[in-house]
Amino acid sequence: MPDDKKVIVALDMMDPVVARDMAKRLSGEVFAFKVGWPLILGSNADIVVDLSRYSKVICDLKLADIPDTNSWVTQKMRENGAWGIIAHAFVGGDSLEAVVKAAGNVKTIAVVAMSHPGSSLFINKKAKELVRVAAGAGAYGIIAPGNDIKMLKKVKKIAVGLKILSPGIGTQGGSASDAIASGADYVIVGRSVCNADDPKNEVKRINAAINTVLAQRNGPAT
């Protein structure tokens, strides 16, 4: 049965107690949780093990180092139960391939474009080339912004066989429905969920809006 949850919640916080509580509250409502350096440094890599009890965990470390270093960090996250790991594609195919190889069954997700204004200066200008690097390295998917629909559509055209995970939803101005309609497979939402009065209800609202888009795309059931 396909997973009908398309929301990945970014636990962008440093307090592991708060993160565990949020994960527990949202368990069963999300596709995955995304954790980055703030939370891992605020606790340790064991937080990945803890959060995996509630859903899949994507380690957003944006690895951008030489192959050996990328490999060592990836192995550590794999040992702690990560479902996915995010790495930069701009460092080249050899470094990204090292992540894919060390990841084993863990999904490698490559950054090809970002959601903040400064990304337009360099990385986003090379998005097409970076999609090709990701595909060539054997990545599972890519990161492309959900608050830049023009960029997302451009990436979608050439990201054949790659899952697209889109950040920039909510606080950064992106719409989950628009991102899914424009080619994203999953949306990444952080502050607008975690800071909501009722985070669980907010995730349900986003999932409902996404499912409406998917129903329109797929047409009536027969």
Q: What would the pLDDT profile of 89-103 be if each residue is shown by its tens digit? A: 999 999 999 999 999
CB-based contacts of 25: which residues, under 8 Å, 6+ apart?
199, 200
Across residues 161-184, what is the average pLDDT?
A: 95
- For residue 96, being part of any structural domain is answered with yes
Report yes or no: 8 and 187 within 8 Å, Cβ to Cβ: yes
| pLDDT, position 2 | 45
CA distance 52 to 62: 20
| pLDDT, position 3 | 61
- For residue 102, being part of any structural domain is answered with yes
- For residue 100, being part of any structural domain is answered with yes
- For residue 108, being part of any structural domain is answered with yes
Residue type at 218 in one-letter notation = N
Domain count for the chain, please give it: 1
| pLDDT, position 216 | 84
CATH number at residue 63: 3.20.20.70
Across residues 10-27, what is the average pLDDT?
A: 96
CA distance 44 to 46: 5
Q: Would you say residue 1 has pLDDT above 50?
A: no
- For residue 2, being part of any structural domain is answered with no
CA distance 76 to 102: 9
Q: Would you say residue 47 has pLDDT above 80?
A: yes
Tokens 């960090």 belong to residue:
73
Burial call 28-45: b when 16+ CB within 10 Å, e when fewer: ebbbbbbbbeebbeebeb
- For residue 175, being part of any structural domain is answered with yes
Specify whether 107 is catalytic.
no
- Domain membership of residue 93 as a residue range: 7-218
Q: Which of 6, 34, 62, 76 is catalytic?
A: 62
- For residue 1, being part of any structural domain is answered with no
